[in-house]
Each structure stands twice: as structure tokens, then as C-alpha cells.
Chain A
């Protein structure tokens, strides 16, 4: 079936460390891919997106590249801050039909 799989958390890093959160998907066709972030006590916010293969989404120092050959959309940031502590969700949108599904979320904790 169609699904989104994220690396399990929690992920604990020191400030200024390099971040990678893995996301892989299974899907037919050509979906759009997203990363959402949920800060403590808040709803989900769009972080970045990519709508076709080889597109790179970027925002607030975060980046992710749509890799069709490896069916992946890994989230990266070169230097994390304490304020980046949140839960990160990878998501997939079926452009035909409008179905939008999320991965299970990865909790990130950044220590000073």
C-alpha cells in the first residue's frame, strides 16, 4: 500500500549539530512531499515542500530533496538550535485524488 515511514525518535542533539531525519515513501504515480513541524502545545505548520523529482524544498535553514530513485525525502539542517526542538512530520499528497497522509513523526530535542 501507500505509506510514509520516518526514522524513529526521539532524536537528541547538541546545539549546532548536524541534523538528518529520514523519510521514505511508497506510492504510485508522482506525489508531492512535505515536511511539517509541530512545536510543543501547537498545531502543525508547513516547513517545506517539493512537488516533483529532484526538487529541493528549503526554509529556516532546513532542506529536503525529492529523490524518486530512492523514494526518499530526508530532512537536513546544518546547525540546529534549541528552538528547533519539536516533532517533525513527513507527508505525502496524491495529486490525483487529494489524499494526504503523514508519517508517524520524529521528535527532536536540542540541548544547549
Chain B
């Protein structure tokens, strides 16, 4: 089934550990996004990409890095996790044109202890 797949779905880290979240889409979309969702804060844009090999900073990029080496994959990295990065992370990809639509992954629940 076409869509956006995020892995892992859950993860617990200790402060200072690193990890990478993977987002994969098979819809040939150019635009991909990483958001974090926190209570009362809504969805905040971390980084985004407008095509293979490109990345750009969003509203809250500090402490995160991203890569888009292949069009279908958008990776979000935490080099040294902090408790403030405890959140639910959502990846999204966007189709363009008259039938523009945003497709979300199912989310990753990350806890940093």
C-alpha cells in the first residue's frame, strides 16, 4: 500500500545517546517534512526537504540533523538526545498540483530519560 512509513514506532533513549528516525515514502513526492508534536504546542516543523539532496531548517531545528540522500527517504538524526526532545515525531510527504495533499506517517513516540 502506498503511503508514508516511519520507523521505529517507539523508542526510549538515555540522555546523550544518538538515534536516527527513518521516513520512507513510495509516492515519488518531492517535499518531505519532519514535525514534533507536544501538548499545547501543536505541530512544530523541525526540518524539511524540497527534493533529493536538499534540506532546510524549520521552526525548531536545534539538536536535530536530517539527510535526503534518496528521494524516497528522509532521515532525522539526534546526535546527543536530551529530555527536551521527548515528543511524538511525525514525518510527512506532500504531493503537488491541483490535487495537492499531505500524507503523514503514523508517528514515533520518543522518550529521553
A contact residues vs B (CB 8 Å cutoff): 6, 32, 34, 36, 43-44, 46, 49, 89, 97-105
Contact = CB atoms under 8 A, between A and B. Distances in A.
A101 B45 contact: yes
A37 to B, nearest CB: 12
Contacts of B42: 6, 89, 102-105
B48 A44 contact: no
B50 A100 contact: no
* Interface of B: prevailing SS: strand
Q: Max chain B CB contacts within 10 Å: which of A44, A46, A49?
A: A44
Contact of A43 (B31, B48, B101, B105): B105
B36 to A, nearest CB: 11
B90 interface: yes
B41 interface: yes
B102 interface: yes
Contact of B48 (A89, A98, A103, A105): A98
B106 interface: yes
* Interface of A: prevailing SS: strand
Nearest to A36: B102
The 6 lowest CB-CB distance pairs between A and B, nearest first, are: A104-B42, A102-B43, A105-B42, A43-B104, A98-B50, A98-B31
B61 interface: no
Nearest to B57: A99
13 contacts: A43-B106, A44-B90, A44-B104, A46-B102, A89-B43, A97-B50, A98-B31, A98-B94, A99-B45, A100-B31, A102-B42, A103-B42, A104-B40
B47 to A, nearest CB: 10
Nearest to B104: A43
Given A98-B94, A100-B33, A46 B101 contact: yes
Contacts of A97: 50, 56
